[in-house]
Amino acid sequence: MRAIIAAAGTAGHINPGLAIANEIKKKEKDSKIIFIGTTRGLENDLVPRAGYKLKTIDAYGLSKKISIDNLKKMYKTLKGFGEAKKIIKEFKPDVVIGTGGYICGATIMAAHKLGIPTLLHESNAFPGKAVKMLAKSTDTILVSFEDAISRIKNAKNIVYTGTPVKIKKQNYTIEQKKNKLEEIKLKIDKPSVLIFGGSQGAKKINDSIIEIIQNGLNKKYQVIWATGPKQYDIIKEELEKIKKNINMIDGMKIMPYIYNMEEMMNVADLIVARAGAMTVTEIANLGKPSILIPLPNVSHNHQLYNAKVLEKIGAATIILNDDLTGQKLNSAIENIVLDKGKMADMEKNALKVSVSDVEEKIYNEIKRLVR
């Protein structure tokens, strides 16, 4: 199989593209796959690192406002459409796949004009502009959450497949869990709460945890907290002001970044996080209770819609960013971790939206198109 995958911007767009590429390679070892991205996003690091060739074109998100800057971006995006067409003509793919970012508009439209089968994958519960715009001209749209289906109009074919994620459920024994907690100087006799705000951290979440520490609220649970690399030293200084050593806070393991995230997510009893599509999918797959704090000011408030997927089935509690305080977060944590029945119900409910064999389902849809 010869495939082009368009993915740009964030890891949430690029990682599903890489997972799809890897599945195609696994099934058909002689496959030829290239990626199309921009010169600005994480694809410039992640795609070559995964062993795939990246071709870049110009593509931008367009605002409805009339301005010189927007006209320039419109011109560059139209130019990007021509660049995408040229790459497709030269590579001669059997299928063109888009997994997110502004890049999908130019690439999928170019493929459609050239009569190449096209497929889009939408990770969020509220579909982005590109998916809505391309719905009519895309052969198949795959969605991560069932909630997205009713929000895509005029699509030829929509299939609920879930999103491919790296983090998988590990059924640790009590002894294994105990050992993993002891490695980070925590104990098994208290509920463990994993808190993170994406790879760069989240200031609002971090501020609320400082408030919890300052008021000594975390007596009934312990915390594994990833601050984000850029915020770690700032938090260290903030804690020093209240006479706290970042490495010696009782019942807390604080680090800039968690490299063994699969282990920590499996070990945790409760997860507190933003509500990106990948995070919500991983929480569901692991069957973990969660407190979700959607990132505000993102396109169509899509993180709130992602969070509602788990909230409406009783698997998560949502705290809006503007409402978040240390007191409120602490109350929400205690309300869940101190009630074993509630914890069990939330775990069971989260698994209801877990999708198995995601990569296999996506590959089958690609194969159907190629045939």
H, E, C per residue of 288-312:
CCEEECCCCCCHHHHHHHHHHHHHC
Residue 167 maps to a domain: no
User: What's the chain's average pLDDT?
Assistant: 92
Q: Are residues 199 and 271 in the same domain?
A: yes
Contact between residue 154 and residue 136 where contact means Cβ atoms under 8 Å apart: yes
Q: Are residues 100 and 178 in the same domain?
A: no
Q: Euclidean distance between the first and final Cα of the chain, in Å?
A: 10
Is beta strand 222-226 parallel, antiparallel or unpaired with respect to 192-196? parallel
Q: Are residues 58 and 157 in the same domain?
A: yes
Q: Are residues 102 and 83 in the same domain?
A: yes
Q: Are residues 70 and 193 in the same domain?
A: no
pLDDT value of position 80: 75
Q: Are residues 280 and 305 in the same domain?
A: yes
Residue 121 maps to a domain: yes
Residue 141 maps to a domain: yes
Residue 150 maps to a domain: yes
In sequence order, which residues have a C-beta less than 8 Å from that of residue 358 and are 6 or more positions away? 161, 162, 163, 164, 165
pLDDT in tens, 87-142: 999 999 999 999 977 788 899 999 999 999 999 999 999 998 888 889 999 999 99
Exposure string over 322-333, b if 16+ CB within 10 A, otherwise e: eebebeebbebb
Q: How many domains does the chain have?
A: 2
pLDDT value of position 76: 59
Contact between residue 101 and residue 131 where contact means Cβ atoms under 8 Å apart: no
pLDDT value of position 7: 93
Most confidently predicted of 66-80, 224-238, 292-306: 224-238
Q: Are residues 348 and 235 in the same domain?
A: yes
Distance CA 246, CA 314 (A): 34
Contact between residue 111 and residue 88 where contact means Cβ atoms under 8 Å apart: yes
Q: What is the mean pLDDT of residues 51-77?
A: 70
Residue 96 maps to a domain: yes
Confidence of residue 170 (pLDDT cuts 50, 70, 90): very high
Q: Of 76-80, 156-160, 212-216, 253-257, which range is least confident?
A: 76-80
Reading across the β-sheet that carries 192-196, which strands appear in turn? 252-255, 222-226, 192-196, 270-273, 290-292, 316-318
* pTM of the shown model: 0.89
Q: Are residues 125 and 208 in the same domain?
A: no
119: nearest Cα among 131, 103, 102: 131
Structural domain harbouring 89: 2-162+356-370
Confidence of residue 173 (pLDDT cuts 50, 70, 90): very high
pLDDT value of position 100: 79
Q: Are residues 139 and 232 in the same domain?
A: no
pLDDT in tens, 183-192: 999 999 999 9
Q: Are residues 184 and 331 in the same domain?
A: yes
Q: Are residues 178 and 104 in the same domain?
A: no
Residue 329 maps to a domain: yes
pLDDT in tens, 66-92: 666 656 656 556 677 899 999 999 999
Residue 168 maps to a domain: no
Q: Are residues 204 and 275 in the same domain?
A: yes
In CATH, what number is assigned to the domain containing residue 74?
A: 3.40.50.2000
Confidence of residue 298 (pLDDT cuts 50, 70, 90): confident
Residue 271 maps to a domain: yes
Q: What is the mean pLDDT of residues 265-269?
A: 98
